């Protein structure tokens, strides 16, 4: 079980189920990103008062509150690029997500919106890899690097970031939470008023065994 920190904390137990959001490079203005980081610093300071900073429950609580704040900001954002609304760009991302299914993770669900992606999967540990430190960070870095290269080629962009460097991951702890995150993922376009039912959205996926839930 590993705890990784770049700009935001990432709690990354091997074999866990994850709810992940990743966004386009300019999806949030700098002020919004700065606000998220300030919130993280404040919460970290609060956790240090009389508490063990390595306590996993406290780390999880801090992380989840940051994640919630991030979700509120991204869904309230009205400016920035919307490259994922291009069917060819969306197809690049879908292919990359499915390619890693059953190799790096068991894919549960995803939804590709115009400027961000929600992804739910169960991580598959690789026992052949020694010093397996930050598995989700490595998976997302590979996926984003590959899709960024193809997407930028399609868009005729060079030397520019396609994705924001962070991926915002959250560990799913039980079946009730799993239902909630898959429901949330699939119903993004419904909530945005783009379709009446999630199945009408061309850039969504749900694993067959969960379809009866929705």
- Give tens-digit pLDDT for 10-31: 456 667 899 999 999 887 666 6
Report the C-alpha gap between 100 and 92 in whole angstroms.
13
Between these two residues, 144 and 28, which has the higher pLDDT value?
Answer: 144
Q: What is the mean pLDDT of residues 89-107?
A: 97
Q: How many CB atoms lie within 10 A of CB 194?
A: 12
pLDDT-based confidence at residue 126 (cuts at 50, 70, 90): confident
Q: Which of 145, 147, 160, 155 is nearest to 91 (CA)?
A: 147
DSSP SS3 for 143: helix
Q: Where are the domains of the chain?
A: 10-27+81-213, 29-79
Report the C-alpha gap between 79 and 204 in whole angstroms.
23
Beta bridge partners of 195: none
pLDDT of residue 186: 97
Question: Do the beta carbons of residue 14 and residue 122 sit within 8 Å?
Answer: no
Does residue 82 register a pLDDT over 70?
yes
User: Which pair of structure tokens corresponds to residue 69?
Assistant: 């704040």
- Give tens-digit pLDDT for 145-199: 999 999 999 999 988 899 988 777 788 888 998 999 999 999 999 998 999 999 9
Question: Do the beta carbons of residue 167 and residue 21 sit within 8 Å?
Answer: yes
Between these two residues, 38 and 52, which has the higher pLDDT value?
Answer: 38
User: Which pair of structure tokens corresponds to residue 147?
Assistant: 């899709």
Q: How many CB atoms lie within 10 A of CB 191?
A: 10
Tell me the CATH architecture of domain 10-27+81-213. Answer: 2-Layer Sandwich (3.30)
């Amino acid at each position: 079980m590993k705890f990784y920190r770049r700009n935001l904390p990432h709690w990354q137990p091997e074999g866990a189920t994850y709810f992940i959001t990743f966004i386009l490079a300019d999806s949030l203005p700098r002020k919004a990103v700065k606000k998220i980081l300030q919130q993280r610093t404040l919460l970290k300071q609060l956790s240090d008062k009389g508490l063990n900073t390595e306590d996993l429950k406290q780390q999880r609580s801090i992380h989840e509150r940051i994640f919630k704040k991030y979700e509120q900001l991204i869904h309230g954002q009205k400016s920035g690029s919307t490259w994922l609304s291009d069917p060819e760009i969306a197809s690049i991302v879908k292919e990359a997500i499915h390619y890693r299914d059953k190799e790096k993770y068991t894919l549960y669900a995803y939804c590709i919106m115009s400027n961000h992606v929600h992804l739910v999967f169960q991580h598959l540990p690789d026992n052949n890899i020694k010093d397996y430190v930050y598995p989700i960070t490595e998976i997302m870095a590979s996926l984003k690097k590959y899709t960024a290269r193809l997407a930028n080629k399609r868009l005729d962009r060079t030397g520019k970031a396609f994705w924001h460097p962070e991926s915002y991951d959250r560990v799913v702890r039980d079946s009730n939470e799993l239902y909630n995150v898959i429901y949330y993922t699939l119903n993004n376009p419904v909530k945005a008023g783009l379709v009446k039912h999630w199945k009408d959205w061309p850039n969504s996926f749900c694993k067959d065994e969960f379809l009866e839930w929705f």
